[in-house]
Amino acid sequence: MTQYCRIATFNANSIRARLEQVLSWMATTETDVLCVQETKVQDSEFPVDPIREAGLSVVYHGQKAHAGVAILSREPLEQVDTGLRDGEPDEPRLIRGVYRGIAIVNTYVPQGRDADSEYFQYKLRWLERLRAFFERHYTPKTPLLWLGDLNVAPEPIDVYDPKRLANHVDYHPAARAALQRICDWGLVDVFRRHHPGEAHQYSYWDYRMRNVLERRAGWRVDHIMATRPMAEASTAAWIDVQARMADRPSDHTFVVADFDLPPR
DNA sequence: ATGGTGGCACCGCCA
C-alpha cells in the first residue's frame, strides 16, 4: 500500500480576509496540508474555531498586521516548532512540523523592498540562516518539503519581464544565488520538475497593476521544494490560477503537489 | 508613466 498526499502553499495576504476562500478551497481540493503565509494576525486573534469546525487541524505563529505563518492539515502535525532558532532576533516567518513522516517547513521569506536597502541585505542573510537551519536540523535524505512564499523567482521564465526586473529584489542575481545555495544542499523545485521549460506559470500578480492576469504580468515566487526522496515520490504539481479569480482574491494563488509515498 | 491596490495598523507601514 502506498500513501497518497496532497500538499499546497498559499500566501493569503491576511488569513482572516481569506478565511472563507481557504476553507472552501480545502473542502473541494482534498488537500492534506496547506502552508499559509502572511496571516497578518497575532496568535490570540487567530481564527482557530472556524478552521477546527471545518474538521482541520491548525498551527500558527504570527503577530499584528505583518508576516505570520500557519499550517492547516487533515491530521494533526507532530513535532511543531517555530522560528530559525539560531540566537538572532526572529520574526514570525517560519513554522514547521511532521505530517505522516514528512517534515514540512513553511516559510515567508523577507521580501527585501529595494536592492540598495538594508532590507535586501536582511533577506539575503535570512536565506543564508535558513540554509544553516536545514543543515542543523535535517539531512538531504530526510523526507522533507520546504514550502512557502520564498520571494524569489528562480529563473528568467519565472518572471514576466526578466530584462526590466533584473534589479528587483525578487529576481535579483544575489537573491537567486541565495536560493540556489539552499537548493544545492539537496532540494528540488517540484513544480519545475513536472513542467520543465514551461513559461507563464505564475503564482503572484501585483495588485497595483491593471489586467495582470490578461497581460500575464506575474511572478513564480511561491514554491514547493523537496529533498530527493520526496521529489521522486511526487506525481504532479500545478498552480491553481482559477483561485486567483475569486471575489476578493489574494495577490498570490495556491501552488499544489501530489505525492505517492512508499509505506512507512 | 516613477503611478497603482489591498490589508491592517492607528492617522503610516508594508507588500
For residue A176, give the CATH number of its domain. Answer: 3.60.10.10
> Closest by alpha carbon to A7, among A108, A105, A92, A150?
A105
Give me the sign of the Cα torsion angle A28, A34, A36, A42: positive
Q: Return the nearest residue to B6, CA–C1'.
A: A207
Residues 6+ apart with CB under 8 A from A177: none
Which bases of chain B come closer than 7 Å to a protein CB?
A: 4-10, 12-15
Per-residue pLDDT in tens (0 to 9) along chain A, 264 residues: 789 999 999 999 999 999 999 999 999 999 999 999 999 999 999 999 999 999 999 999 999 999 999 999 999 999 999 999 999 999 999 999 999 999 999 999 999 999 999 999 999 999 999 999 999 999 999 999 999 999 999 999 999 999 999 999 999 999 999 999 999 999 999 999 999 999 999 999 999 999 999 999 999 999 999 999 999 999 999 999 999 999 999 999 999 999 999 887
The nt closest to A67 (CA vs C1′) is: B14
Question: Which of the nucleotides lies closest to A45 (Cα–C1')?
Answer: B8
Cβ-based neighbours of A89, under 8 Å, separated by 6 or more? none
What are the backbone dihedrals phi and psi of residue A131, each rounded to the nearest 5 degrees, phi first? -60, -45
Cα A78 to Cα A59, A71, A91, distances in angstroms: 10, 12, 22
CA A96/CA A82 separation, integer angstroms:
6
Q: How many domains does chain A have?
A: 1
Domain that holds residue A104: 3-261
**What is the greatest pairwise CA distance in chain A?**
53
Query: CB under 8 Å to A26, separation ≥6 — which residues?
Result: A34, A54, A56, A72
The secondary structure of residue A32, as a DSSP letter, is S
Q: Are strands A144-149 and A222-226 parallel, antiparallel or unpaired?
A: antiparallel
Helices marked H in A66-162 — which ranges? 118-137
Strand B contact at CB of residue A41, distance < 7 A: yes
- For the whole prediction, is pTM greater than 0.95? yes
